[in-house]
């Protein structure tokens, strides 16, 4: 047996030491000590060999047939699996077994047809089923449970497949819906780039506490906070003799927006940008602008603004700039 993967060595090693994830019988083998899995025995007796790639040193020398090869990628569009499909595909005595549930094997094999080798689809799905999920919820007893709304309703063809309502609070959501979670925290995590971290100079202020000042550009996207350096890249354009702008010049051109968003002004600016067919809806203090032709929604209230545009980064940035133009700045 041959295991071909860049992480083959570490995968086999980790499986022998992560005893807390094993059954009681296998945990006892770890503490004897003994090998919890048979592959360790096969490794010692050279029945199982692992390599990073098919062109790794020693593989062509050790490779023998008939054999079993574990390799990827399950899409058969790249990786070492492509090599073996091309090598073994014309022999009816060979077989390929698909274990990844996220790849339909008939579509995966389509570019290699006609194939004489046999194909078997045996997906190994590691996700929870409804029975396991209900059991886990009863054991953990969460104070708040957040799940898709579809999971709480029985399926018409399988009335037993649904998540049982726990005694505690439950929050459901639909696809694309923005919900508020009852998380009470006063601080948030901010990530600092590698370049900025190198330039920090902490000072001891006593009691084992060190502090450091920092100046950078704070970027908030998808609730992730990142601080990047204000300095532009030191690389100069080809043929340019102008020095890059200083940090002070960059900071001078930065603006800070504030104020209340005017719906009519925003709608007018969107029309000027060529975006038409805009529907405005008001629910309490929440205002929603649906851009029908763009399949995009802008939602905002007194404190937050959300642009939901299905991953269209260029459109999202364009709408962000339009929204910022409707605010005051300093």
Stretch 8-22: mean pLDDT: 76
Question: Is a pLDDT exceeding 80 seen at residue 30?
Answer: no
In the prediction, which pLDDT does 241 show?
Answer: 58
Residues 276 and 315 grouped into a single domain: yes
Residues 107 and 199 grouped into a single domain: no
The string of DSSP letters for 221-241 reads: ETTEEEEE-SSPPSPPPTT--
Tell whether 11 is covered by a domain. Answer: yes
In the prediction, which pLDDT does 266 show?
Answer: 87
Question: Is a pLDDT exceeding 50 seen at residue 235?
Answer: no
Task: Tell me if the bond preceding 114 is cis, omega within 30° of 0.
Answer: yes
Residues 23 and 106 grouped into a single domain: yes
**286, β-bridge pairs:** 283
Provide the mean pLDDT of the chain: 82
Question: Is residue 134 left, alpha or beta, with left meaning phi > 0 and alpha meaning psi from -120 to 50?
Answer: alpha
In the prediction, which pLDDT does 96 show?
Answer: 93
Q: Please, which pLDDT band fits residue 159 given cuts at 50, 70 and 90?
A: confident
Tell whether 71 is covered by a domain. Answer: yes
In the prediction, which pLDDT does 133 show?
Answer: 85
Stretch 210-215: mean pLDDT: 85
Tokens of 59: 């593989």
Rounded to two decimals, the pTM is 0.45
Question: Is a pLDDT exceeding 90 seen at residue 10?
Answer: no
How far does CA 6 lie from the centroid of its chain?
Answer: 21
Tell whether 238 is covered by a domain. Answer: no
Q: Which range has the top average pLDDT, 127-141, 157-171, 245-259? A: 127-141
Residues 224 and 308 grouped into a single domain: no
Question: Is a pLDDT exceeding 50 seen at residue 205?
Answer: yes
Residues 200 and 169 grouped into a single domain: no
Question: 């399988």: which residue's tokens?
Answer: 158
Element (DSSP H or E) covering residue 327: none
Nearest CA to 317 among 301, 302, 296?
Answer: 296
Tell whether 239 is covered by a domain. Answer: no
Residues 31 and 90 grouped into a single domain: yes
Q: Which of 121, 140, 158 is the last residue of a domain?
A: 121
Give the CATH number for residue 40: 3.40.50.10890
Residues 200 and 91 grouped into a single domain: no
Residues 36 and 136 grouped into a single domain: no
pLDDT tens digits along 256-300: 777 788 888 888 888 888 888 888 888 888 888 888 888 888 888
pLDDT tens digits along 81-99: 999 999 999 999 999 999 9
Give the CATH number for residue 296: 3.30.310
Nearest CA to 67 among 49, 44, 92?
Answer: 49
Q: Look at 143 and 31; give whichever has higher pLDDT.
A: 143
Question: Is a pLDDT exceeding 60 seen at residue 121?
Answer: yes
Question: Is a pLDDT exceeding 90 seen at residue 69?
Answer: yes
Q: Percentage of residues in the chain with pLDDT exceeding 70? A: 92
State how many domains the chain has: 4
The answer to whether the beta carbons of residues 34 and 44 sit under 8 Å apart is: no
Q: Please, which pLDDT band fits residue 70 given cuts at 50, 70 and 90?
A: very high
Q: Please, which pLDDT band fits residue 233 given cuts at 50, 70 and 90?
A: very low
Rounded distance between C-alpha atoms, residue 74 and residue 53, angstroms: 16
**290, β-bridge pairs:** 279, 297
Residues 112 and 137 grouped into a single domain: no
Tell whether 137 is covered by a domain. Answer: yes
Question: Is a pLDDT exceeding 70 seen at residue 250?
Answer: no
Question: Is a pLDDT exceeding 80 seen at residue 66?
Answer: yes
Residues 92 and 23 grouped into a single domain: yes
Q: Please, which pLDDT band fits residue 247 given cuts at 50, 70 and 90?
A: low
Q: Please, which pLDDT band fits residue 244 given cuts at 50, 70 and 90?
A: low
Tell whether 182 is covered by a domain. Answer: no
In the prediction, which pLDDT does 68 show?
Answer: 93
Stretch 136-162: mean pLDDT: 83
54: domain range?
Answer: 2-121
Tell whether 181 is covered by a domain. Answer: no
Q: Please, which pLDDT band fits residue 231 given cuts at 50, 70 and 90?
A: low
Tell whether 179 is covered by a domain. Answer: no
Residues 195 and 270 grouped into a single domain: no
């Amino acid at each position: 047996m041959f295991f071909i993967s860049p992480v083959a060595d570490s995968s086999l090693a980790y499986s022998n030491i992560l005893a807390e994830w094993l059954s009681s019988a296998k945990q006892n083998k770890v503490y004897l000590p003994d090998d919890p899995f048979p592959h360790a025995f096969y490794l010692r007796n050279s029945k199982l060999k692992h390599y990073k790639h098919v062109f790794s040193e020693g593989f062509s020398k050790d490779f023998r047939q008939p054999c079993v090869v574990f390799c990827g990628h399950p899409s058969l569009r790249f990786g070492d699996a492509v090599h073996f499909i091309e090598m073994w595909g014309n022999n009816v005595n060979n077989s390929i077994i698909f274990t990844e549930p996220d790849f339909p094997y008939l579509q995966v094999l389509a570019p290699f047809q006609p194939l004489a080798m046999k194909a078997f689809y045996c997906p190994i799905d590691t996700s929870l089923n409804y029975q396991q999920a209900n059991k886990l919820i009863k054991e953990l007893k969460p104070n708040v449970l957040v799940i898709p709304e579809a999971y709480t309703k029985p399926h018409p063809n399988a009335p037993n497949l649904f998540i049982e309502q726990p005694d505690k609070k439950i929050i459901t959501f639909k696809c694309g819906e923005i919900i508020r979670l009852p998380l009470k925290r006063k601080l948030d995590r901010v990530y600092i780039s590698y370049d900025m971290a190198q330039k920090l100079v902490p000072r001891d202020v006593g009691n084992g506490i060190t502090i450091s000042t920092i100046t950078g550009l704070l970027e908030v996207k998808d609730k992730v906070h990142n601080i990047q350096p204000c300095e532009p890249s030191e690389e100069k354009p080809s043929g340019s003799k102008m020095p890059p702008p200083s940090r002070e010049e960059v900071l001078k051109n930065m603006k800070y927006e504030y104020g209340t968003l005017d719906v009519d002004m925003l709608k007018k600016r969107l029309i000027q940008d060529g975006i038409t067919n805009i529907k405005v809806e008001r629910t309490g203090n929440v205002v929603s602008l649906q851009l029908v032709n763009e399949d995009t929604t802008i939602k905002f209230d007194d404190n937050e603004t959300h642009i939901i545009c299905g991953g269209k980064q260029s459109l999202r940035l364009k709408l962000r700039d339009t929204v910022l133009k409707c605010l005051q700045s300093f």
